[in-house]
Each structure stands twice: as C-alpha cells, then as structure tokens.
Amino acid sequence: MVRIGQVEQSKNERKIAVLLNCHYDSWPTSSAGSDDLISCALMLEIARLLSKAPQKLHHDVVLLFNGAEESSLQAAHGFITTHPWRHDVRAFINLEASGSGGRELLFQAGPANQWLLNAYLEAAVHPHCSVIGQEVFQSGVYPGDTDYRVFRDYGKIPGLDLAFVQNGYWWHTEFDEAVRITNGSLQRAGENVYSVLTHLLASPYLERPAEYGDKRSVFFDFLGLFVVVYDVKISHMINIVAIFIGFLVTMARFFQDRNLYIRAFVEYFAVLTSMVAVTYGMTKMVAFLYGTLQWYTHHWIAAIIYGIPIVWTGYATQTFFTSKLASYQILKFSDCLESIHLAFIAAILMIFTYYDVASGFLFALQLLPLIRLIVPISKETQKLLIFPLWLILPGAAMLVYTSEMLISIFIPIMGRTSSNPEPIVASFIALPTVLIMLSLLSFFAKTKTNREPNECGLKDFAYSISGIFFVMFLIVSVLSAASPSPFRYKYEYPTAKRTQFFHVNRLMHNRDGSIIANDSRLYAISHDYRGAEDIPFVKSDPEWQEIEPIYTHSHFKDIPYYFPTRARIDNRHIRYRVSEEQTKFSKPTKITLNSKKQTSKSEIEYDLSVSGFGQMSVYMVADPQWIITEFTALPVETYKAAPIEKDTSLFLFLTCSSPENHCTWNFKLVISLLPSQTPDQEKPLLIGAASHYIYGPEMQSKSLQQIESVIRDNRLHSNQWTITPSSWNTDLVYRYF
C-alpha cells in the first residue's frame, strides 16, 4: 500500500484521497498476466509519475495493491472496513480484468455521483464505456464480482470499475500470460487512468461532491467514435415523447384504412414469429448435430448458422404475404408496416422506461425514422429511398456494434457456463438481425418479386422454410465433420476447454461414528455444457463414472466444491474414478465437536471447530426436519454474527494465512426444528470440511501431474485434447453431530 500526497499540511485540515486499486493474487493455476498484474504494473508507473511530478498534488492518492481478491474479495473488505486511511477516500478507481488486453471498458460507475462519470468522460484520452455493461453486470447475468462492490457497499463511496474484457478465453487459466496481452493495451489504459486520476485530483469534485448532486446517467460510446452521456430524467422525457408519437402515428394510419392495416399487422407479426421460431429451431439442430459451442473459436460461425436462416425466413415470409397485394395497395401497405414497426419498438421502449432500464437507449435510436413523419420534409426528399434508410442506419449500426461487443465478451464466457449456451448466443445474433429485418419490411414491400402470385402459395412457403432447414442442416453437418471439436490449440491464441481435476482423500462417517468410506478419488469437472464426456480420456475409460453420493439428502453430493457452484455443475459435468494413489497430508483435516446443547425441544446449539489448510470449504447440512437459523464465528469479540438465509444447508469459505499454512476455525451454530416436524435422528447435523491445497509442495499428486502431462502432450496434435486444467489435491472429511 502506498500513499502519495502533500508533505506539509495543517493538522486541522481534513485529508482527501482517491483510491486506486488492483490485486496481485491470482487464480491458483493462472499466470495472472491480465488478471491482474497488468493493472499492478500500470499502478506502479502511476506511482512513479506522481512521486516525481513537479506540480503540487491537491489531494492524496492511495494505491492499494491487494493480495486477496480471488478469495472472495477479502483484502478490499479488510481495507475499507478497518484501515485508518479509509476515512479519507472520497472516490476510487478499480482496475480489473475478465479477459486479456483490448480496450478496457468502463462497465460500472457510481452509485449515482454524476461528477465522477463526468470526470472520466472529460479526462479519458480513449473513453470506452456503456451503461449496458453496467446493467448486465449488476443484474448477475455476467458470472463475476469485483472489489468495486465491496468499496461501494461497505465503504459507501463512489467509484469507477475498469476492466479488460476481450479475449476472455485465457482468464483464470495457464494462458493468462503477458505475451498474449494485446499490444498497446497497457499504454492505452495507462493514459486513460492517469488522465482521469490527475483530473480528479485537480478538480473541485472531491472537496464538494454534494454540490454536483446525485444523478444517474445514460452513457455509451457511439460506434467507438465518441461518447454520449445524458441524465436518466432526460432519457425518460425523450422516451416518453418518442413513445407517444410512435403510438399516435400508428393510430392515425389505422383509421385511414383499417382492413389494410390489419393485414399489415398480421404480416408483421407473422414475420417476427417465423424468425423467432427458426432461431429456436436452429438452436435445437445445432445442439443435436454438434453438441453446442461450434462458434467458440470462430465467432463468424454463429453469424452464419443463426443470421442466414433469420434473414432468409424473414424475407420468405414477407414475400408470401405481399405477393398477393394489388399494385395500387403497395405504397399504403408499406406505410402501415413502417408505423406498426415503430409502434412495436415504442412498446418495447415503454417497458424499458417503466422499469427504469437505461439500456433502453438502444430502442430509442430505432425510433429515429419518426423524424420523417413529424418534421416537414419535401415530397421529393420523402420519395428518395436513401433518406429513410439514413434514418434507420444509426440505430441499426448501434445494434450491430453492441451485439458484436457482447458476443466478443460472452462467447469466451460460454466456455465456463454449464447451461446450454446456444439460446444465449443465438439471441445476440437474433436481436440485431430481427430488428433490422423488421425495420426493412416496408422497403421490401416496395420491391418487385420475380415470382408470380400462383408461385407464392402456402405450399411454396412451406417449401421455402423446409429448404432453409435443409441447407442449414448441410452447413452445420459440413462444419461438424470438418471440425469435430470447437476448441483450438494455437500458442498465440489458444481457445481451450476449461476443466478442473481434484485428487480427493475421503474420510466419510456414518451417524454412529463408523467410517463409511476411507479412499482416494480423482474428480474430473467440465465447466461447459458439453460436459465431462467431452474429455477424451474420460469418455474412453469406463472407470470414470457418474457421481453416486453417500449423503443423498445433501445437495452438495459429497463433491468438494471450492466455491458454492452446485447450481452451475450438475451430473453431466462431473465424473470420478477410484485412485490407487493415496495422498498423504502433513496435517489432516479435522472436525471437532466442542459442545452440543439442547436449548429447547426444537433447538440445538453447537460449538464446533474445523482445522485444515489455509483454504477450506465447509458444508453444513441439516436433516430435512431442521433448518440452520444462526451462525457465528468465534470469538464473538472478533467476528460479528453473520446474517444467513434460514435454510437446511450452509456453505462456508474459509481462508487464512499463517507460517504453517494451517489454521483452526471455531464457530457456533444453531439449528431449529421446523413446525409440525418430529426429529427422527439423534445426530441431525452433517458437517463436511475440504482442505484445498491450491499451492505449496502438497498441491498436486503424481496422478494429477500425469493427467496434466498427457493433456499438454496431446493438445499439440488434437483439437479434442485442447484442454486447460486447474488441478489440486483436496482432503475431505464428513461427520454427523
């Protein structure tokens, strides 16, 4: 930790500081090039520049190099809740990475405090930001968390969250090395952070933030050219006006020719429904033929297998309807389609506005064609096809730009998402494609088809849709045959399958204290939807089996989870086999009952201890008739009672640092009997403790080393073997109390 500021200062003068934060710890098996050593290097250079700067610093800078971010953000929490400098911090800049290189994205700003966002927009040399990123991240859709949340929630201070988000394939893997960081990324990020920081230090924002008010903003960069920012209240006003005009125009045209309008309404939603249905059908076809992730390495494949059928289907459906129109109806019919589309977009925008979602600006841009309908424009100009197309272009361009950004961020994430990724990626392709196709329906209606009306019947339409699926079946089949695996190993740009391998010593006890199992197992875990059977040696070796838990009432299923990720890992993602190698640990994991007290007929209080390696996961499971109602780490003078959700189970993540890398934890636990339930067991509480040897001489057994060696040798020659493993030994103990 470093503090740079004024040497001479009045004792009565309150110090003000800006916090700059990075973390130098890493995922156990990662080289940490981007996450987060690149940020630490950036901060070291900023420290050098500030310490030698000739100008007098108006305020202090605190540079926090924290060493416990990967262990549930503990270092940031420790600083912001206990360190004396925390009281001086008025704002912070958090530097993170969920990828490697590229443009760093400002994806969170605030809460509120418009002055802080203004400082970024005014000073950043190469601004890159989007309120979409903020809302997506805070919604929980994006799997991750940063120190930003800790500073915001526990420190009650505003900040900026900057992260490298491109090339997420290498995040938390052996491939996160400096050699793969995009050229120019560090320079670009450094220029941005240094400029914003010095701007903040010289501005009145820090001294009198209340004068600038708390405002929420809509902010985004337009096609990477410039940044747009405006107040959410202004956004609501713009949205309401656009919504009103959109509905008004639609109603006016409806009363001009109801029959034609109803016909246009049917066509519009038939086209929309057909495009959505074909997209859904394609997700099923791809999953059936290939097993998902075909686009994982080459993103353009997603555009082909989802974009082409959407465009084809939309045009075929539109042709089916408009071919039956009389020539004198076409222009009016085209106007009806346009107004229906604008009303549809206005309805979507109304929902976004009602729920106060700032990302609705994307749909507001789709309503730019309203200008042509409300602003006086000469008839000659209106007749020009290029004019309305120019009004559609900004909204369409932003849709494509935003979709491309989301695809480049989320496709690598699909490699660590256990649910079916096809609907998600298909949605990223479908949203811009469908909306652009719908906006062009009025133009398509004006074009002349080469088909005769008798060639555009229902039978011909069915042939067209069947042809779409047949052609796409051939395309997907050819791609599948040419490349059976979506993963690629290329030293400069590897896109590998994410896996974990645990070598687990198990000591499992029955309720009477007898030992049920005392053995050693190897666990193979796949983090993507393709599952553990996609690992070559797991698929080919019948000794790798599905999990059969001993403690069937526990949703942890005897698996030694490092984090509580049971919801993301089901039976298809994990296999085990018995290992002949029995790992030995210098200090075995222990669970000790210090006291057990029946405080009432319906309540039992436990005093327990667990001891083990520096990183432990503890699993507490009460019998179905009981729930865990209280938990407190001891001594109570040091730890506050933890607020918990009353449930039948509880997951604890424990981490400590000591010379021996071995710690003992004490805690008090209370379980309560559910109403109208009768206890049927003397020991209704199951406790499991897993020591995770994520570093040190006891980290990997010979069996794990052999697995990693086989993977690294084979992935040079086969895409199916392109795997990146995270592996360590685990000591697992379960006991009833």
- Whether the CA torsion 428, 432, 438, 440 is positive or negative: it is negative
Q: Is 69 a catalytic residue?
A: yes
Q: C-alpha distances in angstroms, 250 versus 117, 185, 264, 295, 337?
A: 38, 48, 12, 40, 10
Distance in angstroms (rounded) separating the CA atoms of residues 579 and 77: 40
Read off the tokens for 208.
């009198």
Q: Which of 8, 13, 45, 69 is catalytic?
A: 69
**Residue 10 identity (one-letter amino acid):** S
Phi-psi region of 36 (alpha: psi -120 to 50; beta: other; left: phi over 0): alpha
Residue identified by tokens 């909204």 is 395
Residue reference for tokens 């926090």: 64
Four-point Cα dihedral 396, 400, 405, 409, nearest 10: 130
Q: Please give the Cα distance from 31 to 183 (Å, whole number).
A: 18
Determine the 3-state secondary structure of 421 from DSSP. coil
Q: Please state the φ and ψ torsions of residue 548, each to the nearest 5 degrees.
A: -125, 95
**HSE-up of residue 276 (Cα within 13 Å, Cβ side):** 8
User: How is residue 258 written in tokens?
Assistant: 């109801």
Question: DSSP secondary structure string, 660-707?
Answer: TSEEEEEEEEEEEEPTT-----S--EEEEEEEEE-SSTTS--HHHHHH
The CA distance from 569 to 529, in Å, is: 9
- The C-alpha angle with vertex 303 and arms to 415 and 295, in degrees rounded to 5, equals 25
Cβ neighbours for 686, distance < 8 A, ≥ 6 positions apart: 551, 553, 554, 619, 620, 621, 622, 623, 734, 735, 736, 737
3-class DSSP state for residue 725? Answer: strand
Q: Which amino acid is at 528?
A: D
Two tokens, residue 453: 């009306």
Catalytic residues: 69
